[in-house]
Structure 1
Amino acid sequence: MDCTNAANRRLSGYKEGTLMDRTRTSVTIRLQKKLKELMDFQELRQRMMVEYKETVGCRYFTVTGKYPEEEVIDEIISSGAGTGGEELLQRVVQEQ
């Protein structure tokens, strides 16, 4: 975006300091900030998911004594409807 802004300033009506240049620069800065915020949020979401999978894996190991595979953890999470697979883990405990 910065390169495009610099190239755009070479045009006669868009020289540095004109209304169009200031507007374009302002919009560019806002878009860069929004993009950074979005990327930071995605990174945070990714870290939370990794930690949550580790927690579910530890719970599974505590109940069964076996380390779960990635697919098992994903199934527990998806079937648990956000509760960490409590129902599934309770069924495993009852079966043991």
Structure 2
Amino acid sequence: MQKLGEDVVDVLRTIYDPEIPVDIYELGLVYDVNVSEEGDVHVLMTLTSPNCPVAESLPVEVEEKVKTIDIVTTAEVEITFDPPWTKDMMSEEARLELGMF
């Protein structure tokens, strides 16, 4: 199932926060990806803030795109604000892209 996990991460890297031109994975919004032998996927993620304008649509987009992977049987997205997202959670690549070095 490692391959499925990698495929899920590849899909997550195609989803962008509309306010920041960096994908949600590199932004550090994805806290955990769990996949089962049966093809069930659970994504634990956060948003840049509880008042994020895409709070309703982004989790749905993540779920729908993960479901496009052939061997995924179910996809569930769980939103958490614990721990709260900070800029420190961004990858070096994201910080470079945003000129934060």
**TM-score computed with the length of structure 2 as normaliser:** 0.27
Query: Whose relative contact order is higher, 1 or 2, with alpha carbons under 8 Å and at least 6 apart?
Result: 2
Q: Look at both structures and tell me which one has the larger radius of gyration over its CA atoms.
A: 1
**Which one has the bigger helix percentage?**
1
Larger % of strand: which? 2
